[in-house]
């Protein structure tokens, strides 16, 4: 597996006012990532299904190649 590109998400951070939080800035705001868990779950399921489909294709191709070799014997 080789990484081709890394894309940075341009969406802004979610700023919540929590002055007592240890990570709060001077104004009392804490920066949280802008992550949509529903979208991330859909992307993960899509990647899983794609992997399963590709694995099935490779398995079938291997079986066909083996059957062809057996026929040529």
Q: What is the pLDDT of residues 23-41, one digit of tens each?
A: 999 999 999 999 989 999 9
Q: Is residue 36 part of a domain?
A: yes
Q: Is residue 26 part of a domain?
A: yes
Q: How confident is the model at residue 62 (pLDDT cuts 50, 70, 90)?
A: very high
DSSP E strand stretches across 1-73: 14-17, 29-32
Q: Is residue 43 part of a domain?
A: yes
Q: Based on the structure, what is the number of domains in the chain?
A: 1
The boundaries of the domain holding residue 42 are 14-72
Q: Is residue 29 part of a domain?
A: yes
Q: Is residue 3 part of a domain?
A: no
Q: Is residue 5 part of a domain?
A: no
Q: Is the pLDDT of residue 1 over 90?
A: no
Q: CB of 18 within 8 A of CB of 28?
A: yes
Query: Global pTM?
Result: 0.58
Q: Is residue 20 part of a domain?
A: yes
CA distance 62 to 54: 12
């Amino acid at each position: 597996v080789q990484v081709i590109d890394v894309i940075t998400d341009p969406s802004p951070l979610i700023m919540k006012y929590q002055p007592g939080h240890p990570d709060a800035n001077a104004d009392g705001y804490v920066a949280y990532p802008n992550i949509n868990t529903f979208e991330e779950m859909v992307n993960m399921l899509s990647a899983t299904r794609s992997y399963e489909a590709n694995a099935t294709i490779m398995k079938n191709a291997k079986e066909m190649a083996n059957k062809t070799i057996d026929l040529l014997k």
